[in-house]
Amino acid sequence: MITSVLVANRGEIACRVFRTCGELGIRTVAVYSDADANALHTRVADAAVRLPGAAPSDTYLRGDLIVKAALASGANAVHPGYGFLSENADFARAVLDAGLVWIGPPPEAIEAMASKTRAKELMGLAPLGEVADTDLPVLVKAAAGGGGRGMRVVRRLEELAPALESARTEAASAFGDGEVFVEPYVENGRHVEVQILADTHGTVWALGTRDCSLQRRHQKVIEEAPAPGLAPELADSLHDMAVHAARAVDYVGAGTVEFLVAGDKAHFLEMNTRLQVEHPVTEAVFGLDLVAEQLRIAEGRALPDEPPHARGHAIEARLYAEDPAHDWAPQTGTLHRFAVPDGVRLDTGFTDGDDIGVHYDPMLAKLVAHAPTRAEAIRKLAGALDRATLHGPPTNRDLLVRSLRHEEFTTARMDTGFYDRHLPTLTAPTPDPHAPLAAALADTHGRSRFGGWRNVPSQPQTKRYALAGEEIEVRYRHTRAGGLEADGVRVVHADARLVVLEADGVRRTFEVARYGDEIHVNTTRLTALPRFPDPTAQHAQGSLLAPMPGTVVRVADGLTEGAAVQAGQPLLWLEAMKMEHKVLAPSTGTLSALHVVPGQQVTVGSLLAVVRET
């Protein structure tokens, strides 16, 4: 019997495994890096063991330290979660050799399938050899790991060499393995996968299909089950191939077989020998707890001959602290307030007051809606996201809501090129025109020392805010009766937290929260600006500022001060939250200054370089 589980992971998946363990009466143990000393998964576990350092290579990728932590804490089983060491056969062996229960597939199955190159060979496929113009486009892909890291689309032959170098660097940082391979890239296909569950007695379940086509940087954003619009024959074929893959390696536990579907044809991509991020949609449709099933299988229990019947439809959205309009740049800071309406499932590793740091993936949470029909599930999830309270750094919330309500998605005509086609319209600013006024009125009430009746109306008051990249000036005035008024808008009520405005006969309520210069009005985020700009905050024209905190991992070859550069040319690369981000030349001209070197840590707004425009 499993009595105590150490989760060799962090964040949302650690909390999710702990939740099931708690329901089953199993003791829980967390491991944490220095950056995660106060993280939610560290706080909710029954015990926690420190892994000194912050980088994954020093902490969550150190299998030797994790096994020691399990033994020291009295855990008798290890759950790997997803990512990090979840598909590392050597780690699985180390856990078993230490006399612990491994809640995952046999090491031999991991070895056979965790490397995408070996998995393709097992399925009778092979990656491309030497690439020619006729093979383009191709996808450079990390052999180990997943989550979109170590992947690059190459459309021109001259882009192949730098793409290979960049993918190797990113894969080595994220997974400790820099092996990459090249495969054909199918434009505008659908990403469809099959959840499998296998016991030690020869039973293998194929638990329906999932569609994960909405992706950014090859990382899934919205997932659903079942995959809509698949012909029954195609779905049956996918099930058969998934079961065949599992039986071919004597698989045990939960796993996922992924395919790229184009028309009525399916191309095998890989088998993930672990629990997937999107497993909750399958749980909702089949009424299962996949983590509980993993635990039972690890204890040697048998599955029933047939899985339960599917019911309804489920959709999951991944909420990220990132700015989709600016190259999906990850965002950091304090998550002041995070609340989601009832009626949807919330899996998260954050709560009010937690810090969003730079070291790990920027996913804040997963929201899952289940309903009798797909249309109802879409409406339910979009509504919950729209009404969620998110006070903190910018997120992709608006993008998720617009994606769910987009005609291509509601009619199930989406594919992996969805964001390539629609990102500009999905991220176009649509700020609430009355949000700045509500912020100004709430601020006035919260800070004013005076009030009451006035003999003469006051002169107009002004406040300045940054909203959606623009500067907004708000004007309002005090009335003789001690109230407030603004042109075209009647102020029904105003205090420091609640403002009610009426315009054109329509009354609206605004909830206002302020954290320093950061102001949230319903779902709109503003920044209060000083009355007079600080002249010392100005930078020279052409200055390139760090869009996020991170590490400079490399500078473009041959780039030195005085070099000629072209607009859009990559000048340097920042690594933040396990992803590489290009910093591009803003214009054609000359690099007049370079202020950083590889390995240097930078903060938001740090001056990286200056380009003097020709």
Question: What number does CATH give the domain 190-426?
Answer: 3.30.470.20
DSSP 139-172: EEEESS--TTTT-EEE-SGGGHHHHHHHHHHHHH
- All structural domains of the chain with their residue ranges: 4-103, 124-184, 190-426, 435-529, 538-613
Q: How many C-beta atoms surround the C-beta of residue 530 within 10 A?
A: 9
pLDDT tens digits for range 313-322: 999 999 999 9
What's domain 435-529's architecture? Answer: 2-Layer Sandwich (3.30)
pLDDT digits (tens, 9 = 90+) for 194-207: 999 999 999 999 99
Lowest-pLDDT range of 17-21, 149-153, 174-178:
174-178
Catalytic residue among 152, 210, 274, 397: 274
Here the tokens at position 454 are 């006035």
Q: What is the largest CA-CA distance in the chain?
A: 88
With a CB cutoff of 8 Å and minimum separation 6, the contacts of 147 are: 83, 174, 219, 277, 361
Task: Give residue-wise pLDDT tens across range 2-50.
Answer: 999 999 999 999 999 999 999 999 999 999 999 999 999 999 999 999 9
**Can you list the alpha helix ranges (DSSP code H) found in 75-211?**
89-97, 107-114, 116-122, 160-175
- Pairwise CA distance, residues 576 & 588, whole Å: 27
* Contact between residue 195 and residue 210 where contact means Cβ atoms under 8 Å apart: yes
pLDDT class for 452, splitting at 50, 70, 90? Answer: very low
pTM of the model: 0.85
Tokens 């991020």 appear where? 277
Residue 449: pLDDT over 70: no
Q: Which two tokens stand for residue 147?
A: 């989550």
Nearest to 608 by CA among 29, 558, 600, 146: 600
State the DSSP H helix or E strand holding residue 443, giving kind and residue range, or none if neither: helix 435-447
Q: Which fold has domain 124-184?
A: Dna Ligase; domain 1 (3.30.1490)
Q: Is 155 a catalytic residue?
A: no
Instruction: Tell which CATH classification among 3.30.450.20, 1.20.1250.20, 2.40.50.100, 3.40.50.1100 matches the domain 538-613.
Output: 2.40.50.100
pLDDT in tens, 500-528: 999 999 999 999 999 999 999 999 999 99
The verdict on domain 4-103 having CATH code 3.40.50.20 is yes
Q: pLDDT at residue 126 above 70? A: no
Q: Is 93 left (phi over 0), alpha (psi -120 to 50) or beta?
A: alpha
Contacts of 281 (CB under 8 A, 6+ apart): 210, 223, 224, 225, 314, 315, 316, 368
Backbone angles phi, psi at 137, to 5 degrees: -80, 155
Token pair recorded at residue 501 = 């405005």
Cite the beta strand spans of 481-578 per DSSP E. 484-486, 489-494, 498-503, 506-515, 518-521, 524-529, 543-545, 550-555, 564-565, 570-576
Amino acid residing at 7: V
State residue 468's pLDDT score: 83
CA–CA dist 52, 54 (Å, integer): 7
Query: Which pLDDT belongs to residue 578?
Result: 62
